[in-house]
Amino acid sequence: MREFAAALRLSREKGVGAATFRRLIDEYGFPSAALRFWRRKSIKTSELAAVSLNKSPTAERIKDTLKMIRSGQLLGWYYSQPGYPDQLKDLGEPPPVFFASAPLRLVKYAAVVGARHLAPETPMMVAAACRVLMNQGYALVSGGAAGVDSLAHQAALDAGFYTLAVLGTGLDIVYPAGNLDLFKRIREAGALMTELMPGARPARSFFPTRNRIIAAMAETVVVIQASLQSGSMITAGWARRLNRRLLVVQPPPGAQDPELWAGNRQLLESGAEALLLK
């Protein structure tokens, strides 16, 4: 707990991004040692230290977060700690810390991603894609959002398979609000995870960075339905950068709104493998 607390504080220090955090931990080994080094380097007077460490809103949020961990309301890991998923280390800037509702299972994951606003054909495609993946022994990871994400999580839960939801909010925030019951089911049979501290509300910038975690956790990334300017395309881009297998559903013939499938067509035309649905 002492080292996680140091890691959390270090990750919130001014000037410490994910890449710097990784470098400091790789160099100093323990977060407490890295934090001591960084503060000696960055803080010039004890007065400044007292202000920055004891009176800032961030310091209060850190205290509240550590209290929640001590009480068992959530779990936390830092980069290089046992239990931190090895696949996240493939990222150049892996999350310095992350939080989860339960320990993450060491299983092979397939990511299922797609639009929030669904074409009429999409729910049947999600169900078929999830069957294919679960028959291959995959647990399913997605982003807990409305639309494709929710359908994928539900398919896993209904089949008795493990599912992981990577959130773009704190673990104590239900977003979208309509997924309250789904998140309860995931907590009971799978896990919720996030790199954001409790209390973090949804913000536009959080979701693209969340998508890199979804891609990194997975061996295979499946795009069900994607427009050109969508989070699913961001996840697909991460899949390619991380050398994950990228599978894309073929747009249905005679789709009512071709723009809803423009991302699928672009990915397939650029060499992505088509997922054959059964």
Domain ranges of the chain: 2-100, 109-275
pLDDT at position 58: 84
- pTM for the model stands at 0.92
Question: Which of 119, 173, 178, 120 shows the shortest CA–CA distance to 153?
Answer: 178
Question: Which of 202, 72, 84, 65 shows the shortest CA–CA distance to 143?
Answer: 202
If pLDDT is split at 50, 70 and 90, which confidence band does 152 have?
very high
Find the mean pLDDT for residues 135-153: 98
pLDDT at position 44: 56
| pLDDT tens sequence across 247-265 | 999 999 877 788 999 999 9
Whole-angstrom CA distances from 176 to 163, 194, 219, 227 are 18, 15, 27, 21
pLDDT at position 251: 93
pLDDT at position 261: 95
Give the domain 109-275 fold. Answer: Rossmann fold (3.40.50)
| pLDDT tens sequence across 198-220 | 999 999 899 999 999 999 999 99
- Report whether 85 contacts 104 (CB < 8 A): yes
Burial 85-110 (b: 16+ CB within 10 A, else e): bebbebbeebbbbbbbbbebeeeebb
Residue 43 has pLDDT above 70, yes or no: no
Question: Which of 79, 14, 73, 76 shows the shortest CA–CA distance to 48?
Answer: 14
